[in-house]
């Protein structure tokens, strides 16, 4: 069954609209509480709630707490913490659910709600469908659960991260850190500083309105300029909720997630530390990733776009590393959630152990030429209902075979259609990109 409200990563929208408002969010939390309660044994039920730095976060936090309390759940408020800190907290504190109030890399006017099971994994599609089915179903009044603050979510997360590198491992390292005026302003800063790094901080003064505003993983230009200006060894930029990270090498050039995953996976493969020789990526990743892993004796498994689909595949495959080209990375033996700080520490460890800068490490990936574009839409008619687009995709598959691809998909979190063309030559990319964009503009309500 199709989900009406949930997208690729929870429910999102502009704060104050028909969905992202306190009344709807209260209903959503209540429905989630009622649904998950049917799967649990009798006894106390506890949910932990974290949020990022958006001004609307406190209002929605109250609505989430009220919705769960009305369903009989005890609610623990973690305050401002990165998304992966909530995943860790539910596992370590024995809660049955976790909730994060965030719109990730979206602007400050947006917000969202996403759920974690007691295992620390995001809820699967089927659970979200079941929650939506209860939104309009009235329920009898129940005793209210308790609501209270939980003060150690941030400290637990920092303590776990500090185990990933030896004490003093970054002494003498100059690092530019951009925390997007978001949830990682304290956590990543404190961890890197505790390891001895000399930090030049960007995006570290949240005011409720400036999250992701010209800073963070979506806007690395200032990061790159500061790396060059200061002679830093590396630049690091998170998104608003800290489940993603983008790196900038010492030359001021940003890396994408495919480059990072490739050198991390090849290093693990050489050390015999990549279970099954398997790296999990999404359909969005460059075909060069597959070529690099196969040449080294490994394999690549691809999933739909979304870090929870990567996480699910990691479980099925018993694999040890996965992620997305956008900068989500999952290290399942440490955490089932995408974690920008864990990824940061993994990259810094490789740099430290090999003595190589990022400008060298990134050469592990030779990308196929690629072009991408996102077109903003007034509506999203089913792609299969567009004959011109479908004909274009059939022609591309027949012509390109295994030497390239044309991929068209709707964004799961924004009113956009995303186009990706990847072929072995630049000329072929340009040809198929022009054909594909023309087909989309002919049949979709492009704004």
Compute how many other C-beta atoms are within 10 angstroms of the C-beta atom of residue 18.
9
The whole-angstrom separation of Cα 187 and Cα 339 is: 12
Find the distance separating the first CA and the last CA of the chain, reported in whole Å.
Answer: 29
b/e per residue 322-354 (b: at least 16 CB within 10 A): bbbbbbbbbbbebbbbbbbbbbbbbbbbbbeee
Contact 75, 146 (CB under 8 A): yes
Catalytic residue list contains 325: no
Of 104, 217, 311, 335, which one is the catalytic site residue? 104
Q: Which residues are catalytically annotated?
A: 104
């Amino acid at each position: 069954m199709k989900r009406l409200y949930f997208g690729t990563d929870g429910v999102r929208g502009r704060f104050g609209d028909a969905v992202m408002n306190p009344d709807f969010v209260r209903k959503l939390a209540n429905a989630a509480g009622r649904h998950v309660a049917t799967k649990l044994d009798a006894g106390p039920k506890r949910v932990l709630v974290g949020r990022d730095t958006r001004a609307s976060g406190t209002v929605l936090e109250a609505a989430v707490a009220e919705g769960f309390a009305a369903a009989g759940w005890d609610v623990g408020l973690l305050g401002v913490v990165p998304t992966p800190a909530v995943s860790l907290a539910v596992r370590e504190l024995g809660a049955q659910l976790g909730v994060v109030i965030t719109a990730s890399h979206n602007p400050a006017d947006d917000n969202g709600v996403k759920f974690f099971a007691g295992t620390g994994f995001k809820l699967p599609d089927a659970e979200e469908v079941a929650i939506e089915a209860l939104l309009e179903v009235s329920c009898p009044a129940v005793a209210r659960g308790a609501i209270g603050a939980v003060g150690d979510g941030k400290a637990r997360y920092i303590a776990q991260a500090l185990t990933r590198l030896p004490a003093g491992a970054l002494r003498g390292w100059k690092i530019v850190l951009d925390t997007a005026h978001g949830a990682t302003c304290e956590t990543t800063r404190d961890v890197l500083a505790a390891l001895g790094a000399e930090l030049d901080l960007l995006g570290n003064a949240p005011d409720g309105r400036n999250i992701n505003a010209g800073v963070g993983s979506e806007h690395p230009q200032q990061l790159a300029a500061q790396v060059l200006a200061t002679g830093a060894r590396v630049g690091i930029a998170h998104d608003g909720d800290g489940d993603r990270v983008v790196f900038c090498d010492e030359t001021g050039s940003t890396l994408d997630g495919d480059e990072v995953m490739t050198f991390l996976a090849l290093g693990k493969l050489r050390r015999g530390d990549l279970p099954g020789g398997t790296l999990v990526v999404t359909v969005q990743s460059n075909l060069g990733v597959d070529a690099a892993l196969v040449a080294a004796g490994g394999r690549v498994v691809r999933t739909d776009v979304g870090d929870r689909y990567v996480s699910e595949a990691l479980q099925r495959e018993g694999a040890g590393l996965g992620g997305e080209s956008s900068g989500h990375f999952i290290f399942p033996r440490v955490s089932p959630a995408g974690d920008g700080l864990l990824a940061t520490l993994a990259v810094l460890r490789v740099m430290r152990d090999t003595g190589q800068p990022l400008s060298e490490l990134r050469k592990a990936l030779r990308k196929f030429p690629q072009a991408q574009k996102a077109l903003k839409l007034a509506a999203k008619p089913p792609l299969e209902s567009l004959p011109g687009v479908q004909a274009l995709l059939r022609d591309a598959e027949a012509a390109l075979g295994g030497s390239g691809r044309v991929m068209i998909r709707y964004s799961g979190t924004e009113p956009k259609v995303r186009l990706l063309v990847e072929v072995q030559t630049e000329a072929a990319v340009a040809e198929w990109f022009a054909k594909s964009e023309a087909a989309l503009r002919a049949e979709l309500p492009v704004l």
